Structure 1
Amino acid sequence: MILDVLPRTARRSRARRASRILLSLTAMAALIGVDLPGGASGPPLGVTVWAQPGAEADRVGALFANGLDGGHSCTAAVVRSADRDVIATAAHCLAKTDNAVFAPGYRDGETPYGLWRITGVFVAPEWTAGQEPDADIAFATVAPVDAGRNRRIEDLVGGYPIAPEQAPRARATVIGYPSTMEAPLRCANRTGLHSPTQRRIACPDLSGGTSGSPWLVDGALAGVLGGFEGGGTVPEISYSAVMGGRALELYRAAAAVG
């Protein structure tokens, strides 16, 4: 099966160079594609491609610190909750949220599911007190910027279940928005432990802006890009704090308040 992956508009020459690299990788993936769980086909492990529109990618969105004109600097994902209004991201992405908006399914300047403002932030005390990398997982509640919308965000795009305490070598899929690109990237690979409290994954081109990207194991959120070195200082290796009981408590708190 040939992968249908097309380049999106990028705002800088660096992004265009990255797009050419991605297209080259995608061409290779089309030739040596492998079967993925559930019968879908895709690129080999460790190959980064454009994330195609659909249920998996549309639950992920770009975080804009100051509205659409300010550019997107982080990524977040919708997770399941009783009130259907909770997103997950890295704690360091929620330092300033007064004017922040979340755009699920964002592509090429289009916001097919609208813009969502942040109404509540849930971070661990260890992050607030000292920006502890092991606590760089957070949750937030959101509401539509357009007051005329009466549906919750999960009603529109669905939400990922939470799956803490995954095995060290779990296969994870990362979906995120580099700040220089206008569509999300997707990469799957086996994870490993950088330390007992930090996971690592080898995926190219996950550069600045992908902080907060969901790490999905069997379709459930098992972490977010962040933690050690803020998620990594090179785009080839990324990190996530291990999602344990502390993160689960934050999630439950966010879900209860929604």
Structure 2
Amino acid sequence: MIHRMLLFRPAARVRTSARVLVASTALAALVTSTGEPALSAPLPFGVTAEARASRITDRVGALFAGDLDGGHFCTASVVRSDDHNLIATAAHCLDDVTNTVFVPGYRDGRAPHGVWRLTGSYVDPAWQSAEDPDADIAFATVAPLDGREVQDALGGFPLRAAQPDDVAVTVVGYPSARETPLICANSTTKWSSTQRQIGCPELSGGTSGSPWLTADGGLAGVLGGYEGGGTVPEVSYSAVLGDTARALYRQAAVSGG
């Protein structure tokens, strides 16, 4: 939902007047038998709300240019890795890794879990050579903060590749025009053999890279892909996480991979 990044990165899409609800429990964190938080979405499918802080939403953050004064332009989330230092986002959000910071749980100008500086990225060659929308997912490493890795501080989402066309997911993202995250749940639909779409209002510029989370708290996609994630806020896209995405994840997440 944003195609190019500048030093100050404005939203690339115009927000509509669709109503945004403030939900008291937009996202509930449950505990599975394995102890990993799982997701439930009390709001009706296709309704967008302000996301309240929780164990899950705190793993999602805004990407800023330079520091908190640089403006947030994309969204990312912590994913599991051997080195506990990995985040996932859209490939088109990582044009300037050395000038980007990740702020998990960002709200109203505050960084409740710190500001984490990006140190490197893993982007598929198909994106690097031709900006293939089917390769619009990437991973980035972040430096430790106060002696801790980001996954140790917040936990991380496992990858859930090869999901069915109509899987129910919850999207959490940061529109550039807002200072709090939004949340919406819906079932995905097949746009093409390599792209999935979801109907959720208000997911405008800045929500690129937002995680698509399954009911058990796994990463099934990131907002991006076709049309950079979409040209209207009501419909968003993600490249299918198939063999190519899994190989990129293994390269990024597995020590020595």
Which TM-score tier does this pair reach, normalised by the shorter chain? 0.7 to 0.9
**TM-fit CA distance, 1:257:** 4.9
Amino acid at match of 1:54: S
CA distance in 1: counterparts of 2:223 and 2:114, whole angstroms:
24
**TM-fit CA distance, 1:119:** 1.1
Deviations 1:163-209 (A, max 9, x none): 00000000011000000111110000010010000000000000000
**TM-fit CA distance, 1:41:** 5.8
Inter-CA distance 70–245: structure 2 relative to 1 (3 Å threshold): same
Name the SS of the counterpart of 1:98 in structure 2. Answer: helix
Equivalent in the alignment of 2:210? 213
CA distance in 2: counterparts of 1:114 and 1:105, whole angstroms:
9
Q: Confirm or deny: 8 A CA contact 1:164 1:243 kept in the other structure.
A: yes
Name the SS of the counterpart of 2:56 in structure 1. Answer: helix
**TM-fit CA distance, 1:249:** 1.2
Equivalent in the alignment of 1:172? 169
Equivalent in the alignment of 2:6? none
Q: Which has the larger radius of gyration?
A: 1
Structure 1, unpaired ranges of 5+: 1-14
CA distance in 1: counterparts of 2:201 and 2:39, whole angstroms:
25
Inter-CA distance 17–167: structure 2 relative to 1 (3 Å threshold): closer
Equivalent in the alignment of 1:242? 240
Amino acid at match of 1:206: L
Structure 2, unpaired ranges of 5+: 1-13, 31-37
CA distance in 2: counterparts of 1:221 and 1:109, whole angstroms:
27
Q: How does 1:60-139 map to 2 (within 5 A)?
A: 60-139=60-139
Which fold has the larger relative contact order, with Cα–Cα distance below 8 Å and residues 6 or more apart in sequence? 2
Deviations 1:59-117 (A, max 9, x none): 00000122211100000000011111000000000011121100011111111111111
Name the SS of the counterpart of 1:180 in structure 2. Answer: coil
Name the SS of the counterpart of 1:92 in structure 2. Answer: helix
Deviations 1:195-231 (A, max 9, x none): 0000000000000000000001121001100000000
Identical amino acids, percent of aligned pairs? 57
CA distance in 2: counterparts of 1:16 and 1:228, whole angstroms:
19
Equivalent in the alignment of 1:163? 160
Q: How does 1:2-41 map to 2 (within 5 A)?
A: 21-23=19-21
Amino acid at match of 1:92: H
Matched, 1:230 2:223: no
Inter-CA distance 233–154: structure 2 relative to 1 (3 Å threshold): same
Q: Confirm or deny: 8 A CA contact 2:82 2:255 kept in the other structure.
A: no
CA distance in 1: counterparts of 2:178 and 2:62, whole angstroms:
11
Provide TM-score, normalisation by structure 2: 0.85
Q: Which runs of 4+ in 1 moved over 2 A?
A: 15-18, 35-41
CA distance in 2: counterparts of 1:129 and 1:47, whole angstroms:
37
Equivalent in the alignment of 2:52? 52
Provide TM-score, normalisation by structure 1: 0.85
Amino acid at match of 2:205: G
Amino acid at match of 1:93: C
Amino acid at match of 2:106: Y
**TM-fit CA distance, 1:57:** 0.3
Q: Aligned pair count?
A: 236
Amino acid at match of 1:96: D
Inter-CA distance 229–172: structure 2 relative to 1 (3 Å threshold): same
Q: Confirm or deny: 8 A CA contact 2:16 2:233 kept in the other structure.
A: no
Q: Confirm or deny: 8 A CA contact 2:195 2:238 kept in the other structure.
A: yes
Q: Confirm or deny: 8 A CA contact 2:123 2:139 kept in the other structure.
A: yes
Cα RMSD of the aligned pairs, angstroms, is: 2.7
Q: Confirm or deny: 8 A CA contact 2:171 2:183 kept in the other structure.
A: yes
**TM-fit CA distance, 1:56:** 1.0
